[in-house]
Structure formats: structure tokens, C-alpha cells
């Protein structure tokens, strides 16, 4: 009798535990070197995920201006490191300090950024690209076909990037920019602007075997971006910084079973109280 009860308990526990759900907090590990953040874990499709971190800090008027004219010079240093928690300091010219940290949690990676203008003048820092998420291993795809595995949410619901109303003309060719309706289209990436607007801040993709999904979002969405390195971006809005002003921004990368409704529940839980999200 006791053997039957024990067997039932083990069977029940196993039934509720997917590899990502039960082991992510223990198996996911973080490392960073030469601006490359690596998220690794035995249960992560592809074994690891590489993220260019941090990529760029951008002025207003970026859509029709060269990237060199748009970006503010910056330098990032690692302040403290543990297997599931990294802390950084980034200096953005002329006078901005960004203190930020990355934490591995169950089913997700959490980012927090605190901007502080240490100068006496306002700074034109409209938006930034914190994380260029390289998804070729996760999706098992390359530049020619990863849009068929990647998605945003539009008025039609979950929409594959390959099925959006795409454009091709821009200052730089390649990629696609997905801009919320509340954002000025003059202040985004200088690549082709999609005719479909996202209805929330999520952009994501499905694993090569179709069992899992990866998605990312922030609480201040400036744009969602499909890049030219088999990469996905959720790029947050800063909105400029007055002299002495500080501002905190949060973002996440989710690793879940292939269940878009569960993804939406996570997103609404984490960002529903943020009226500044742009939706």
C-alpha cells in the first residue's frame, strides 16, 4: 500500500514538472565577457543563448539618420558576478550612469536598469538597445527562415513575423521594425518599418522542435525589432533625461513551454501595472 502511495506521489509530481518549469532556476547560468551575455543550461534548447549586451543608446530622430549620428558612446563594466546574478555599470556620454543587473529566475531572466543623469544639462537619450538576442540555435533557423519561427502580437493575435505586412525601403536594408501606435515613427531603428503595429510589448520565437518558446519584453516599449544577425530585440524607451533625473526600467526574457496563453499571463502579471508601456 505504501509503495502504491509513493508511486502515485512520484507520478503526480513528474506530471506537473516540465524540465524548464522545475529546473530552470538551478540549471540556468549567466556569464558575460566582451559585451556578450551567455545564458546556459542543460534544459535550454540549443544548450545556450547568446545576447549582445548592451548594444546601443540612441538619440531622437533616429529613423532617418545614420547609426553613427544616432548612438551615444558608452562603456560597460562588470561590477559583480555570481552564477545566477550579474551586476554592471555603464557610462553613457556625456554624463549618464546606468547601474543594471541580470538575474536568472525560474522560467525567465530578469533585467533592471537605473539611469541617472549626473550632469547639469538635459541629455537626448530617447531609447536604447539593451539586448540583441541571438536565436539561431534556439530556433534551428538562419537569416533566411527564422521569421517563420518568430512572432509578435498584432490585432490578429499571435502573428508570425513572416506573415506581417513587411516593408523593404529604409535608410538601411534588412530586418524589420515593429512600432507601437503611441511611439513616434521618427524615433526608431533606421530599418524597414512594418505596416502592422504590435498590440503588446512581446516579441518571441519557437524552438526548433516546437516544444518551447522564448520571448522578451520591457515595461517601456519603444520598438520591437527583427535584426540581421538572426536576432530579436525588445528595445525600451527612455524619453530623455533632465539634469539630475533618474529612471528605472525593467525587462525580461521568458523560457516557457510552447503555450502562448501562458506567455501572455506572465507578461500581464509582470507589466500590467505599467501605464508607460505604450499600449
pLDDT tens sequence across 238-272? 999 999 999 999 999 999 999 999 999 999 999 97
Which residues of the chain fall short of a pLDDT of 70? 1-26, 273-279
pLDDT score for 10: 36
HEC secondary structure over the chain:
CHHHHHHHHHHHHHHCCCHHHHHHHHHCEEEEECCEEEEECCCCCCCEEEEECCCEEECCCCCCCCHHHHECCEEEEEEEEECCEEEEEEEECCCEEEEEEEEEECCEEEEEEEEEECCCCCECCCEEECCEEECHHHHCCCCCCHHHCEEEEECCEEEEHHHCCCCCCCCCCCCEEECCCCCCCCCCCCCCECCCCCCCCCEEEECCCCCEEEEEEECCEEEEEECCCCEEEEEEECCCECCCCEEEEEEEEEEEECCHHHHHHHHHHHHCCCHHHCC
pLDDT score for 272: 78
Indicate the CATH number for domain 24-277.
2.70.98
pLDDT score for 57: 98
Domain map of the chain by residue range?
Answer: 24-277
Kindly report the pTM of this predicted structure. 0.90
pLDDT score for 264: 97
pLDDT score for 4: 46
Amino acid at each position: 500500500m505504501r509503495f502504491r502511495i509513493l508511486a502515485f506521489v512520484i507520478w503526480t509530481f513528474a506530471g506537473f514538472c516540465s524540465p524548464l518549469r522545475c529546473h530552470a532556476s538551478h540549471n540556468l547560468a549567466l556569464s558575460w565577457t566582451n559585451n556578450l551575455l551567455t545564458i546556459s543550461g542543460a534544459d535550454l534548447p540549443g544548450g545556450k543563448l547568446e545576447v549582445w549586451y548592451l548594444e546601443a543608446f540612441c538619440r531622437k530622430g533616429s529613423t532617418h539618420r545614420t547609426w553613427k549620428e544616432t548612438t551615444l558612446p558608452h562603456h560597460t563594466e562588470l561590477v559583480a558576478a555570481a552564477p545566477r546574478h550579474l551586476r554592471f555599470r555603464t557610462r553613457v556620454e556625456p554624463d549618464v550612469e546606468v547601474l543594471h543587473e541580470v538575474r536568472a529566475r525560474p522560467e525567465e531572466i530578469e533585467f533592471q536598469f537605473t539611469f541617472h543623469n549626473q550632469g547639469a544639462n538635459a541629455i537626448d537619450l530617447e531609447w536604447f538597445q539593451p539586448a540583441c538576442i541571438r536565436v539561431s540555435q534556439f530556433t534551428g533557423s538562419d537569416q533566411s527562415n527564422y521569421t517563420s519561427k518568430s512572432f509578435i502580437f498584432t490585432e490578429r493575435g499571435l502573428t508570425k513575423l513572416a506573415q506581417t505586412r513587411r516593408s523593404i525601403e529604409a535608410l538601411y536594408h534588412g530586418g524589420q521594425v515593429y512600432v507601437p501606435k503611441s511611439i513616434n515613427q521618427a524615433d526608431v531603428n533606421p530599418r524597414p518599418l512594418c505596416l502592422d503595429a504590435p498590440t503588446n510589448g512581446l516579441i518571441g520565437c519557437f524552438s526548433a522542435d516546437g516544444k518551447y518558446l522564448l520571448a522578451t519584453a520591457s515595461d517601456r516599449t519603444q520598438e520591437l525589432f527583427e535584426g540581421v544577425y538572426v536576432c530579436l530585440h525588445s528595445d525600451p524607451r527612455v524619453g530623455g533625461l533632465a539634469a539630475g533625473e533618474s529612471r528605472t526600467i525593467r525587462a525580461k526574457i521568458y523560457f516557457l513551454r510552447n503555450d502562448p496563453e501562458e506567455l501572455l499571463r506572465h507578461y500581464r502579471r509582470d507589466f500590467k501595472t505599467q501605464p508607460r508601456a505604450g499600449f
